[in-house]
């Protein structure tokens, strides 16, 4: 079946078609909102402080689709929500109250979601104040109202904007297709790609260099896809059970452990952490001491930034994997279903075996993921790629685009398989089809 036919099948399924159209509509609303300038700002006189793509503010501008440099109402985007989520998840590992909420099931999750939203509002308010102070210091000619009035207005509008974006993301997750928060970040990144690619082409005098860079980008994308889809299969044997006249079990299945079980979330979490020093620096734009202490975070192509970013990515990969995968729960479920790993005793030994395998595959996965995350710095410093295009050469941008695209594609695949249509992936054609 051709690829075109597969796309046609999507629109044959009413529910899937409505979900996709709903998602597209929400993303269009987000993109339109990113072009609405804050009250009190003269857009024509505004100097794009994020014009330098090598600065961390330029990187932040990438995640919000250019809204930061335009002083848009969505200038802070969804990153405060990500930061709040990090804080809540870290608290879940050390604070008894949050640990209790995690064990309370659906009710606990609702409470955690509510606290995350409250945290988002608080974080956004502080970041909005920092944003307004920085804008007054860097582009005073663009501010047409009283400074205090602008700071107060910016805090209210930017906080409302982030809350609205958070709501849009949740609507996509509930009624659309894919993870809403991740899709909003991805669409902001893709929106800036054409301009950065055009700048790269016009900057290079040798077309062959551009072709080589594109070929290298394809190789990196292929490597990222392999990392994302890489699986370590653990054989699981199920004992035979006789129920009445029927025999159940006696088959061998596999327990798939993904090399990158955490997906793109460690990168997003790590990037949120890296924004903190620059945010502090925005509060004190004229303080030389603060600017000196936060100077290392001003350039994402710098080696100091890259080294710190590398280790934070490794940490969050292990941290998020530990949250996402519970070996004890796997072992207990396996035991209840009469399954066991050949050569491994059920119970504690199975837990230790799964945990050992998980550690062995997570370590190289986290290192490779972190190397890809700092590729923009390597591409800029060693290969001479322009900072704007280097963001897509590797790093956070590429990982988010590939990770989110694959996740969304898998959800579409699931809808197609449930209706007995061929999917886009080879594995789907093998496992999803049933014979009458």
Whether the per-residue pLDDT at 164 is higher than 90: the answer is yes
Q: Which CATH number describes the domain made up of 3-431?
A: 1.10.3370.10
Sequence length of the chain is 436
- What is residue 269's predicted lDDT score, i.e. its pLDDT? 77
Residue 148's pLDDT is what?
A: 86
Q: Do strands 252-258 and 241-243 pair parallel, antiparallel, or not at all (unpaired)?
A: unpaired
Structure tokens at 252: 């061998």
Residues 364-387 have a mean pLDDT of 81
Strand partners, 246: 243
Instruction: Give pLDDT, residue 4.
Output: 67
Residue ranges covered by each domain of the chain? 3-431
Pairing of strands 339-340, 252-258: unpaired
H-run or E-run covering 70: none
Block residue for tokens 């993303």: 27
Of 354, 254, 384, 374, the residue nearest 309 (C-alpha):
374
Position 245 pLDDT exceeds 70 = no
- pLDDT tens profile 292-321: 767 776 666 777 888 888 888 888 888 888
Give me the helices (H) in 284-394, please: 288-293, 303-324, 327-336, 348-373, 375-383, 387-393
Give me 276's structure tokens: 């903190």
Structure tokens at 309: 């970013």
- Distance separating alpha carbons of residues 220 and 215, to the nearest angstrom: 9
Rounded to 5 degrees, what angle do the CA atoms 186, 188, 193 make? 90
pLDDT above 80: residue 420: no
What are the DSSP calls for 244-279, one per residue?
TTEEE---EEEEEEETTTTTTHHHHHHHHHHHHHHH
pLDDT tens, 3-21? 566 677 777 788 888 888 9
Structure token digits, residue 82: 């990500």
DSSP H or E run through 159: helix 147-175
User: For helices 265-283 and 106-138, what crossing angle results, to 10°?
Assistant: 40
Cα–Cα separations (whole angstroms), residue 106 to 84, 103, 112, 166, 169: 20, 9, 10, 20, 20
**To 10 degrees, what angle do helices 207-229 and 180-203 make?**
160
Residues 70-107 have pLDDT tens digits of 778 888 888 888 888 878 877 877 788 887 887 777 78
| pLDDT attached to residue 26 | 92
Could you tell me the pLDDT band of residue 51, with boundaries at 50, 70 and 90?
Answer: very low
> 430 with 419: CB under 8 angstroms?
no
In this prediction, what percent of the chain has a pLDDT beyond 90?
7
Tens digits of per-residue pLDDT, 187-225? 888 887 787 778 778 877 777 877 887 888 888 888 888
Tell me the backbone φ, ψ of residue 155, rounded to 5 degrees: -60, -45
252, β-bridge pairs: 237
Residue 267 contacts residue 313 (beta carbons within 8 Å) = yes
**Overall average pLDDT of the 392-400 stretch:** 72
């Amino acid at each position: 079946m051709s690829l075109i036919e597969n796309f046609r099948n999507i629109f044959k399924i009413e529910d899937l078609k409505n979900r996709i159209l709903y998602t597209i509509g929400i993303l269009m609303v987000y993109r339109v909102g990113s072009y609405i300038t804050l009250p009190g700002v003269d857009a024509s006189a505004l100097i794009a402080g994020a014009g330098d793509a090598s600065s961390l503010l330029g990187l932040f501008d990438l995640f919000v689709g250019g809204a930061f440099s335009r002083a848009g109402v969505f200038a802070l985007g969804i990153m405060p929500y990500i930061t709040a989520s990090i804080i809540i998840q870290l608290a879940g590992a050390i604070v008894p109250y949050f640990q209790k909420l995690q064990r309370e099931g659906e009710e606990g999750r609702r409470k955690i979601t509510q606290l995350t939203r409250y945290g988002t509002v608080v974080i956004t308010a502080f970041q909005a104040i920092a944003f307004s102070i920085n804008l007054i210091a860097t582009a005073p000619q663009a501010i047409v109202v009283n400074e205090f009035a602008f700071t107060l207005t910016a805090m209210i509008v930017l906080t409302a904007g982030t809350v609205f974006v958070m709501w849009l993301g949740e609507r996509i997750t509930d009624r659309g297709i894919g993870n809403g928060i991740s899709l909003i970040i991805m669409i902001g990144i893709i929106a800036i790609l054409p301009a950065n690619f055009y700048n790269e082409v016009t900057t290079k005098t040798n077309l062959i260099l551009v072709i080589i860079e594109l070929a290298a980008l394809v190789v990196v994308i292929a490597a990222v896809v392999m990392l994302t889809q890489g699986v370590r299969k653990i054989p699981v044997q199920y004992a035979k059970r006789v129920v009445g006249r029927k025999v159940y079990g006696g088959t061998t299945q596999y327990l798939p452990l993904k090399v990158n079980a955490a997906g793109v979330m460690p990168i997003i979490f790590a990037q949120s952490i890296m924004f903190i020093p620059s945010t502090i620096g925005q509060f004190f734009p004229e303080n030389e001491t603060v600017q000196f202490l936060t100077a290392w975070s001003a350039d994402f192509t710098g080696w100091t930034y890259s080294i710190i970013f590398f280790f934070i990515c490794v940490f969050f990969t292990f941290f998020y994997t530990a949250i996402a995968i519970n070996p004890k729960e796997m072992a207990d479920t396996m035991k209840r279903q009469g399954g066991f790993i050949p050569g491994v005793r059920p119970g504690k030994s199975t837990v230790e075996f799964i945990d050992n395998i998980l550690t062995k595959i997570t370590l190289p996965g986290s290192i490779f993921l972190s190397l890809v995350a700092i590729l923009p710095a390597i591409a800029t410093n060693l290969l001479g790629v322009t900072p704007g295009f280097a963001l897509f050469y590797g790093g956070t941008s590429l990982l988010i685009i590939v990770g989110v695209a694959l996740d969304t594609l898998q959800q579409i695949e699931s809808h197609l398989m449930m209706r007995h249509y061929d999917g886009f992936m080879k594995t789907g054609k093998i496992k999803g089809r049933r014979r009458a």
